[in-house]
């Protein structure tokens, strides 16, 4: 029997493994994914995919959002003009790259972010990983890179979640953040696409993205720097989009703000997005968010929140939002895989601070509760958004 689904194969191994089993070797032989890699996954003195430990030894009440590498990562390679083949799990470790790798010299790379959730009954769920896969394909095309198929991407994420199951926080304590990367790993000197590409995925348990926790955010509208320009790569999750925002972000945080809200690069009058998340403005029964026009990332949480809001009867508009509209807004909130749905308490623009309604009866709280309820299995998923590992 040959199992083409690596995650299913991994589940088989975990089920089959018994220390006293004399038939383990022959059973492993049934799975082509495992025969050549099981030895590298089991290292003396270290937990393995067969570990009986229910949870890793962490302070689950104080996770924050910093790297705590889970046991395993996933790797898959291909050459230019070819398709990705079967990947493999290995211990989380440093990788080897040529100094002339395209990703190091010219920033040829995209990444994604998704999460694994532990339910109250012990299941592990993923949330719409097929959309992450599709977004990576769009980004890869923009950056002249081959990309894994949707099935390959989803299977890799499943394998990472399953192999690192003990790193998925207990219910209510956080999530396992999974970071897939696609990079031009082959060497180049002149400007051009790499001859080889590497897809990687690793994981880390996380809590709240912002140090404020669930407290309302205080945003600063940036007028000097812009995040993206028409015709650029602002609409895809290119690695090169993020380092340029650091200067404005560090400056804003040094002044006591949570994050930066950017304006459009042409007129400097319209709201676009925050450094790492989308933004929504609420006025009465109308929820507005900037339209994704090539400079704004099409967030998966954004898309999900829009659908949930419409289900609740809100009128959702995707349009140009002049910065002046913020003065009269009732509520403002941000969305993203890392931030989930976060309330905005104030926005400062041209030395004027505008405050917004927050609290238990706010729109963001209703949308947050429903979204997280679906993601964690508390609310029945009638939309087919979750995938059980």
357 is catalytic: no
* Tokens (6 digits) for 23: 């038939």
Handedness of CA 320, 324, 325, 326 (dihedral sign): positive
Strand partners, 280: 333
Strand partners, 262: 222
Residues 337 and 186: their CA atoms lie apart, in Å, by 30
Residues 105 and 84: their CA atoms lie apart, in Å, by 23
180-210 exposure pattern, b = at least 16 Cβ within 10 A, e = fewer: bbbbbbbbbeeeebbebbbbbbbbbbbbbbb
Residues 259 and 278: their CA atoms lie apart, in Å, by 12
Residues 42 and 13: their CA atoms lie apart, in Å, by 13
Strand 114-118 vs strand 109-111: parallel, antiparallel, or unpaired? unpaired
Token pair 């046991």 is at which residue? 71
Under a CB-based contact definition with an 8 Å cutoff, are residues 277 and 271 in contact?
no
- How many other β-carbons are positioned within 10 Å of the β-carbon of residue 74? 23
- Phi-psi category of residue 70: left, alpha or beta, with phi > 0 → left and psi -120 to 50 → alpha: beta
Catalytic residue among 137, 158, 165, 237: 237
- How many other β-carbons are positioned within 10 Å of the β-carbon of residue 379? 13
Under a CB-based contact definition with an 8 Å cutoff, are residues 326 and 338 in contact?
no
Under a CB-based contact definition with an 8 Å cutoff, are residues 13 and 49 in contact?
yes
> ∠130-168-375 over CA atoms, to 5°?
45
User: Looking at the annotation, which residues are catalytic?
Assistant: 237
């Amino acid at each position: 029997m040959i199992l083409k689904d690596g995650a299913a194969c991994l589940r088989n191994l975990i089920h089959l493994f018994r220390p006293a089993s004399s038939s383990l070797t022959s059973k492993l032989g049934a799975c082509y994914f495992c025969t050549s890699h099981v030895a590298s996954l089991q290292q003396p003195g270290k937990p393995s995919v067969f570990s009986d430990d229910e949870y890793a030894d962490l302070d689950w009440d104080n996770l924050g959002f910093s790297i705590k590498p889970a046991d395993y990562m996933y790797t898959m390679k291909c050459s230019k003009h070819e398709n990705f083949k079967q990947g493999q799990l290995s211990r989380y470790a440093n990788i080897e790259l040529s100094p002339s790798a395209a990703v190091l010299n010219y920033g040829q790379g995209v990444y994604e972010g998704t999460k694994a959730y532990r339910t109250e009954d012990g299941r592990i769920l993923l949330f719409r990983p097929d959309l992450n896969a599709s977004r990576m394909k769009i980004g890869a095309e923009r950056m002249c890179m081959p990309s894994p198929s949707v099935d390959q991407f989803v299977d890799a994420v499943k394998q990472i979640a399953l192999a690192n199951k003990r790193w998925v926080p207990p219910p209510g304590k956080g999530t396992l953040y999974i970071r897939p990367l696609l990079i031009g790993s082959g060497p180049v000197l002149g400007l051009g696409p790499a001859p080889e590409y590497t897809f990687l995925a690793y994981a880390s348990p996380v809590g709240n993205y912002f140090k404020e926790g669930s407290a309302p955010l205080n945003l600063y509208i940036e007028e000097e720097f812009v995040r993206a320009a028409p015709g650029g790569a602002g609409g895809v999750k290119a690695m090169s989009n993020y380092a340029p925002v650091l200067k404005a972000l560090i400056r804003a945080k040094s002044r006591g703000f949570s994050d930066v809200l950017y304006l459009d690069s042409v007129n400097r009058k319209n709201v676009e997005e925050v450094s790492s998340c989308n933004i929504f403005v609420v006025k009465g029964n109308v929820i507005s968010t900037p339209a994704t026009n090539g400079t704004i990332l099409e967030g998966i949480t954004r898309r999900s929140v829009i659908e949930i809001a419409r289900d609740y009867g809100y009128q959702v508009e995707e349009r140009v939002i002049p910065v002046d509209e913020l003065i009269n807004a009732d509520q403002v909130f941000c969305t993203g895989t890392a931030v989930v749905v976060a309330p905005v308490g104030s926005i400062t623009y041209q030395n004027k601070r505008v405050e917004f309604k927050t609290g238990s009866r706010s729109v963001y709280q209703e949308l947050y509760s429903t979204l997280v309820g679906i993601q964690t299995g508390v609310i029945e998923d009638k939309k087919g958004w979750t995938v059980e590992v």
